[in-house]
Amino acid sequence: MFSNMIIGRYMPGDSWIHRLDARTKLVLSIAFIFVVFFANNVIGYALAGAFTLLAIMMTGLGVGVFLRGLRPLVLLMFITTLLQLFFVQTGDVLVHWAFIKITTDGVINSVIVFVRFMLIIMFSTILTLTTQPLAVADGMESLLKPFKKFGLPVSELALMLSIALRFVPTLMDEAQSIMNAQRARGVRFNEGSLMARIKSFVPLLIPLFVNAIKRAIELGDAMEARGYRGGDQRTKYRVLTWHTRDTIAIIGFLIFTVALIATRWMM
Amino acid sequence: MTPIISLSHVTYAYPNSDAPALRDLSLTINKGEWVAIIGHNGSGKSTFAKLLNYLLAPDEGEITVNDVIATEENMWTIRDMVGMVFQNPDNQFVGATVADDVAFGMENRGVPRDEMISRVDAALEEVQMMPFADREPARLSGGQKQRVAIASVLALQPKILILDEATAMLDPTGRREMIALVHELKARMGNDLTVISITHDIDEAASADRVMVINDGELVETGLPAEIFANADQLRRFGLAVPFAEQLKEQLRLRGIDVPNEYLTTEGLVTWLWQSISTK
């Protein structure tokens, strides 16, 4: 039932972007969200669009995959765009019918919101599609390291994250088999009134929770038996290495940022 | 023969339970021995396993592992010596990939990375899981996950390997492969490895050097597999399965055929059958 989701899914490949360090991709994805807001005219958005398209082409996965990733969010984008269209009341009036008033500013704003939305989603999808979840977790740990000084338990958080990621498919399988088992006993999922639907999920959720707790206890035993005692004296098997291509990617992104800021004065 | 594990008058009760899970348990296991612990569900076998590496602390009595007394201060020393493989292949897989899981125990002990890499490779080689090093657990079979669990214990070079119903959730093929694997390891490491296998599986128990029967928290019987399994009535009384050859012997006896009293494996019974028929 979750098979259509593209968000958060990793697609194996061996492109230049695939081989980038997870830290680079994480930082750039976050930075992009802020940088996009510098664009305030057509040239700026064209530049941002071109940059995004270039990055997408470099993943070698094809634009279609990314467009499919937009699908679950189409409704949200549509609603936001409409809200902008109807509620921005400044500028020249284009259409005025009963209580509906569409203005030029409204149209411009809604287009801007739509384009920003698309760019940000497409760009962040690059991270999840080309990076193994585990590498994302490693990258986050390494980026959070400075906060250790302020008492943030970074290594514990990283362990929790990597265990959570490792158990996602296991728990999905389990949810599916509990659902089938309950169906065999006559529970109907996704049928009837809202209340009936909500109630039908109780026989799925309770066993799932109970089993998750059992799993946690057993996993805890297994971890202790293998000598886990937390803390900082642990060594790491998996290490991230910084390559020249990461520096190149960062420099490329900086050039893009500067160019984007420059477009603000071009019109 | 030097004892590696000894328990004297060990009692353990779970919090919130009336009856103790283990009562006045005293036994010794020798270095290099393969001991099978059998008993019905809830007889205290798994509690026994957890006491051996201080996942549980005894209420009374004393446990010694390789001359180290099991106390809270010695907890980590004991866990270095005792490796454990649990029943559920999914719930003991900590790492995100096979190699990560094997490395987990070494990470905990602060083993330097270079050494860790060579030991991960060696351990995976040993259980023939090398081609799967980068796989995620979701893409492995139950038997493969258990082999990874053995590899992650081996990477820590323990003196004692405890299999806590490690084959219970596997199919017959996976089960046979795993037992064969442990036999191979045992043959290679000889007296350096002591195996304690807690099991319901008669064939697994029959391949041990010694069998101990635990019933309702007490050690009721200990002896060679042949001695324990020859007594079908007693096995039934303790809620245990009777080996196939013994069941067949009983049926033959009911039909008036004079079969030998001592325990026979399936192969042994086949040999006896063709010998007795062809000499008639």
pLDDT digits (tens, 9 = 90+) for A196-246: 888 888 999 999 999 999 999 999 999 999 989 877 778 888 888 888 999
Q: Which pTM was predicted?
A: 0.82
Which pLDDT band holds residue B238 (cuts at 50, 70, 90)? confident
Residue carrying the six token digits 């076998």? B45
Whether residue B51 lies within 8 A of chain A, CB to CB, comes out as: no
Residue B26 has pLDDT above 50, yes or no: yes
Whether residue A219 lies within 8 A of chain B, CB to CB, comes out as: yes
Contact map slice: B 241-270 vs A, CB within 8 A: none
Which pLDDT band holds residue A3 (cuts at 50, 70, 90)? very low
Whether residue B50 lies within 8 A of chain A, CB to CB, comes out as: yes
Whether residue A221 lies within 8 A of chain B, CB to CB, comes out as: yes
Query: Helix (H) and strand (E) counts for chain A?
Result: 10, 2
Whether residue B80 lies within 8 A of chain A, CB to CB, comes out as: yes
Residues 6+ apart with CB under 8 A from B223: B210, B211
* Chain A environment of B82 (Cβ under 8 Å): 225
Nearest neighbour of A224 by CB, restricted to B55, B111, B113:
B55
Computed over every residue of chain B, the mean pLDDT equals 89
Pick the closest to residue B108 from A233, A238, A156 (CA basis).
Answer: A233
Report, as an integer, the average pLDDT of A176-202: 89
Side-chain-side CA neighbours of residue B160 (13 Å): 27
Cα torsion through A144, A145, A150, A151, rounded to 10: 100
Question: What pLDDT was estimated at residue A1?
Answer: 40
Question: DSSP states of chain B as a string?
Answer: --EEEEEEEEEE--TT-SS-SEEEEEEEEETT-EEEEE--TTSSHHHHHHHHTTSS--SEEEEEETTEE--TTTHHHHHHHEEEE-S-TTTT--SSSHHHHHHHHHHHTT--HHHHHHHHHHHHHHTT-GGGTT--GGGS-HHHHHHHHHHHHHTT--SEEEEESTTTTS-HHHHHHHHHHHHHHHHHHGGG-EEEEE-S-HHHHHTSSEEEEEETTEEEEEE-HHHHHT-HHHHHHTT----HHHHHHHHHHHTT----SS---HHHHHHHHHHHHHT-
Residue of B nearest to A170 (CA): B138
Residue carrying the six token digits 């893409």? B139
Residue A7 has pLDDT above 70, yes or no: no
Q: Which amino acid is at B123?
A: A
Nearest neighbour of B111 by CB, restricted to A222, A235, A238:
A235
Question: What pLDDT was estimated at residue A2?
Answer: 47
Q: What is the distance between the alpha carbons of residues B150 and B86, in angstroms, rounded to a whole number? A: 10
Residues 6+ apart with CB under 8 A from B279: none
Contact B76 A224 (CB under 8 A): no
Whether residue B30 lies within 8 A of chain A, CB to CB, comes out as: no
Reading the block at residue B67, the tokens are 């001359």
Question: Comparing A104-118, B80-94, B102-116, B208-222, which segment has the lowest mean pLDDT?
Answer: A104-118
A97: DSSP letter: E
Q: What is the distance between the alpha carbons of residues B99 and B119, in angstroms, rounded to a whole number? A: 10
Report, as an integer, the average pLDDT of A34-38: 91
Q: What is the distance between the alpha carbons of residues A94 and A101, in angstroms, rounded to a whole number? A: 8
Over pLDDT 90: what percentage of chain A? Answer: 33
Whether residue A9 lies within 8 A of chain B, CB to CB, comes out as: no
Contact between B212 and B27 under an 8 Å Cβ cutoff? The reply is: yes
Tell me the pLDDT tens digit for each residue of B189-198. Answer: 888 899 999 9
Query: Number of CB pairs < 8 Å for A and B?
Result: 99
Contact B152 A226 (CB under 8 A): yes
A37: DSSP letter: G
Reading the block at residue A263, the tokens are 């477009």
Reading the block at residue B232, the tokens are 């079908």
* Chain A environment of B151 (Cβ under 8 Å): none
ipTM exceeding 0.85? Answer: yes
Nearest neighbour of B84 by CB, restricted to A133, A137, A225:
A225
Contact A226 B156 (CB under 8 A): yes
Side-chain-side CA neighbours of residue A230 (13 Å): 6
Nearest neighbour of B94 by CB, restricted to A173, A222, A239:
A222
Pick the closest to residue B206 from B170, B154, B241 (CA basis).
Answer: B241
Whether residue B120 lies within 8 A of chain A, CB to CB, comes out as: yes
* Chain A environment of B137 (Cβ under 8 Å): 166, 170
Question: What pLDDT was estimated at residue A39?
Answer: 86
Contact B107 A173 (CB under 8 A): no
